[in-house]
Each structure stands twice: as C-alpha cells, then as structure tokens.
C-alpha cells in the first residue's frame, strides 16, 4: 500500500459544486502539503500544515480550503468549483527538523480533477 494515499483518483464535476479531496499518510510525518500541477507551470503550493493546529496558505490558496483532521489526514476542499481549477492535485508529506524549509517531499498518486 502507498504511504501517501489520495482519494478520489479521478473526479469530474460541474461548475459550482463542492469538492473534497482527501489525503491520508502512514509515514508518521507531521508536515503535509497540497500542490496543484498544471502543464507548463510545474507544481504550486496551495496549503500546508505542520500539525493539526497549524494551517498555512501557500502561493495559490484562493478558492481552496483545507482541514487537518488528524496527524495522518489532510483534506482539500473546493467550495464552489470553477473550470480553471481543473488540474492534477498532489498531497505530499515531509519530515524535516526545524522550521523554514521543506526537505524531501513524499507524494501521493495524485487526484485528477476536471471541472466542466
């Protein structure tokens, strides 16, 4: 089984619908991240969390929200999906001492979201 698991793997939805992408990990890492990947733009950070009580916005947080339900679970929500949120979404974890850096990221398999 994968150490970082994302559900659903694929989702097609319509504009205006609420969507939740879920991520769970068995690596025991405190740090969890949500990234979005678009062709030609690389991966961009949406939100990150260092523990259950710590949630931080990334570069492109507008239109998204997150919830860290437990150390192992980090979900991403699109309250009202729009077509330009069509992308491949990755959850990732890292385990690095101290603050102010990321270190090696361990990625989930990705969730492909299509908003019509």
Point out which residues bind another protein (CB under 8 A).
Answer: 4, 40-45, 48, 56, 58-59, 88, 90, 99-110
- Smallest distance from the beta carbon of 83 to another protein, in angstroms? 21
Query: Which is closer to another protein, CB of 17 or CB of 58?
Result: 58
Query: Which is closer to another protein, CB of 17 or CB of 50?
Result: 50
Query: Which is closer to another protein, CB of 26 or CB of 56?
Result: 56
What does the DSSP assignment read for 47-73?
EEEEETTEEEE-TT-TT-EEEEEETTE
- Smallest distance from the beta carbon of 74 to another protein, in angstroms? 14
**Residue 93, Cβ density class (10 Å: 0-12 exposed, 13-18 middle, ≥19 buried):** buried
- Smallest distance from the beta carbon of 5 to another protein, in angstroms? 11
Query: Which is closer to another protein, CB of 79 or CB of 109?
Result: 109
Give the side-chain half-sphere CA count within 13 A for 22: 7
- Smallest distance from the beta carbon of 86 to another protein, in angstroms? 16
- For residue 98, what are the CA distances in angstroms to 18, 25, 77? 36, 21, 28
In angstroms, the CA 88 to CA 84 distance is 12
């Amino acid at each position: 089984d994968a150490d970082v698991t994302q559900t659903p793997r694929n989702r097609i939805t319509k504009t205006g619908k609420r969507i939740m992408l879920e991520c769970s990990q068995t690596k025991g890492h405190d740090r969890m991240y949500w990234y979005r990947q678009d062709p030609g733009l690389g991966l961009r950070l949406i939100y990150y969390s260092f523990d259950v009580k710590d949630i931080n916005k990334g570069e492109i947080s507008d239109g998204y929200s997150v919830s860290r339900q437990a150390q192992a679970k980090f979900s991403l929500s699109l309250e009202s999906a729009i077509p330009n949120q069509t992308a491949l979404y990755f959850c990732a974890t890292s385990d690095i001492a101290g603050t102010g850096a990321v270190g090696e990221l361990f990625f989930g398999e990705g969730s492909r979201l299509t908003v019509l």
